[in-house]
């Protein structure tokens, strides 16, 4: 986690099993820490659910809404 914005790089499998690389743009670390995030919130190779709004330029990137961890815990990326 570093300023000015946190980025989450992740892979998504499509219906055919092909893997695509995506990027989630997040607020800065201070804002994320106020909603329960810390540097150990996400672990490499962990299967998570990410939701957000896709960017308008058609790239494989989103503006992070939230992350749902394997235990069901939700980490909010942006206030609603």
Using alpha carbons, select from 40, 45, 44, 49 the residue that is nearest to residue 71: 49
Model confidence pLDDT, tens digit, residues 5-60: 899 999 999 899 999 999 999 999 999 999 899 989 999 999 999 999 999 998 99
SS3 (DSSP) at 3: coil
pTM: 0.84
> What is the predicted pLDDT for the residue at 79?
58
State the pairing for strand pair 49-54/74-76: unpaired
Cβ atoms 52, 80 nearer than 8 A: no
What is the domain partition of the chain in residue ranges? 7-76
> What is the predicted pLDDT for the residue at 11?
94
> What is the predicted pLDDT for the residue at 3?
73
> What is the predicted pLDDT for the residue at 48?
95
Rounded Cα gap, residues 73 and 38, in angstroms: 14
Q: Average pLDDT in the 56-72 region?
A: 94
DSSP, residue by residue, 23-65: EEE---HHHHHHTT--TTSS-TT---EEEEEEPTT-SSEEEEE
């Amino acid at each position: 986690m570093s300023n000015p914005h946190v980025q989450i790089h992740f892979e998504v499998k499509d219906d055919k099993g092909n893997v695509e690389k995506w990027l989630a743009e997040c607020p800065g670390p201070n804002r994320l820490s106020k909603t329960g995030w810390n540097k150990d919130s996400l672990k490499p190779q962990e299967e998570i659910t990410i939701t957000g709004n896709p960017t308008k330029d058609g790239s494989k990137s989103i503006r992070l809404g939230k992350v749902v961890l394997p235990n069901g815990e939700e980490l909010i990326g942006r206030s609603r």
